[in-house]
Amino acid sequence: MDKRSSLTLISQRAKEPVSSPGSSILWNAGACSTTKQLWVHLAFREVRAMAEGPRAAVAGQTKRLNSGAEVAERLEENGHQNKRLKGGADEEGAEDQGKKSPKRKIVLLMAYSGKGYHGMQRNVGSSQFKTIEDDLVSALVQSGCIPENHGEDMKKMSFQRCARTDKGVSAAGQIVSLKVRLIDDILEKINNHLPSHIRILGLKRVTGGFNSKNKCDARTYSYMLPTFAFAHKDHDVQEEVYRLDKETLDRVNKLLSCYKGTHNFHNFTSQKGPRDPSARRYIMEMYCGEPFVRENMEFAVIKVKGQSFMMHQIRKMIGLVIAIVKGYAAESILERSWGEEKVDVPKAPGLGLVLERVHFEKYNRRFGNDGLHEPLEWTEEEEKIAVFKEQYIYPTIINTEREEKSMANWLSTLPIHDFNSSAVEMQANNKNSKNSSDLEGSDGCGDDSD
């Protein structure tokens, strides 16, 4: 090929889209001048290879195709699209910042005391009710993990919480997934902008398509309550001197174990009919631990693990067991509550409910040992979780109970409930709620407290 023909080919290469992978997309999208110069260089190299012989030409063509794919990949990865370039020093600074701190999908392990907050989920545009996510997003912006506009539109950072805890509910193992800039000392910088009763205890990289809500297999909640709640209604007990005996504890655990398996929990939430398929929930375990004394008052912790929970479900499960143990309701009411009959189920106070842990067993089996990602297990953070609960969660529950007497006040309302109402009577009183959709948490990730 003569020199004139070579120059003609180079000129054509500079003006027309190249048919290598990704090249036409880049060219037609209006690539920058640097990119065009690169294609001219590649075209010139191909012409030189063709002049050296057919075999060299083939090798040059292959190399050019591979280079084109690499260019396209790097341009996309580094955010070098033409629409993002505005010229001048500002564009170079933005590009450098992007290279230094690329956005990556991560999960954050959170612990918080929910007192004084109207739940976890942020209500963008409403400053009347403060939520945990309000403080979290503010800290992410101030620490430089996300741009300010991502805080205004959380979809831009692919934000997703694992469980939507409600007003007053605390968490020791909440998980949120999002895309952030992986800045140096990221946990320290985020925590520096958070109040002491909200802490980020851990961080792990996850797959690009990870969603903390959809990938969660199960959730474990705990419910801390004073043991005098289990004292029989015919016994006059003093709250601070009451101690739970082994016989009563065994009965409590026998009743709690009845919840294990799959049941229709339409009576344990609001606005759900008995034939709504989403009312069927699977409970893996539920039990009450040994009692312990704090500040002269005895407490116990009930733990429940299930695939998902509806609004108020856990509080009503505990409320019904308390009503049975105290002698207000017969044990047979449990079986009745899972049938189509409408049953009056009392709802225990929200104080004491804590999101303990969320489980990602399927994700861990698939990606936890692939050599690229870590399993979503928090063994190394267990000590920090325990310390946080002792410093912020348990004292809040104990002090609030002593000051506000939420359990004692709720127990006084149990005689008002009619645990023997017929189905006809209950359906007449609640006809508006039957067969209606659950507006508060039917996706299974709703919380169990208001």
C-alpha span between 331 and 342 (Å, rounded): 16
Question: Six-digit token pair at 216?
Answer: 């969660």
392 is in an annotated binding site: no
User: Alpha-carbon distance 130 to 115, whole Å?
Assistant: 11
Q: Which residue has the tokens 């939420």?
A: 406
CA distance 369 to 367: 6
User: And the tokens for 291?
Assistant: 């009692």
DSSP secondary structure letters along 14-46: HHS---STTHHHHHHTT--HHHHHHHHHHHHHH
For residues 273 and 269, what is the distance between their CA atoms, to the nearest angstrom? 10
Beta strand residue intervals within 190-230, DSSP E: 198-205, 218-226
Q: 353-359 and 198-205: which strand pairing?
A: unpaired
Q: What is the helix, strand, coil percentage profile of the chain, to 5?
A: 45, 15, 40
Burial of 86 (0-12, 13-18, 19+ CB in 10 A): exposed
**Residues ≥6 apart with Cβ < 8 Å to 389:** 111, 172, 354
| 166 annotated active-site | yes
Q: What whole-number distance in Å separates Cα of residue 437 and Cα of residue 80? A: 46
Q: Per DSSP, what are the bridge partners of residue 280?
A: 264
Query: Of the candidates 222, 191, 201, which has an alpha carbon nearest to the alpha carbon of residue 384?
Result: 201
Q: Which residues contact 370 (CB under 8 A, 6 or more apart)?
A: none
**CB of 101 closer than 8 Å to CB of 182:** yes
Number of residues written out for the chain: 450
> One of 134, 166, 344, 438 is an active-site residue; which one?
166
Output phi, psi for 19, to 5 deg.
-90, 20
Given a contact cutoff of 8 angstroms between Cβ atoms, the answer to whether 43 and 14 are in contact is: yes
Show binding-site residues. 221
Active site residues: 166
Show binding-site residues for substrate. 221
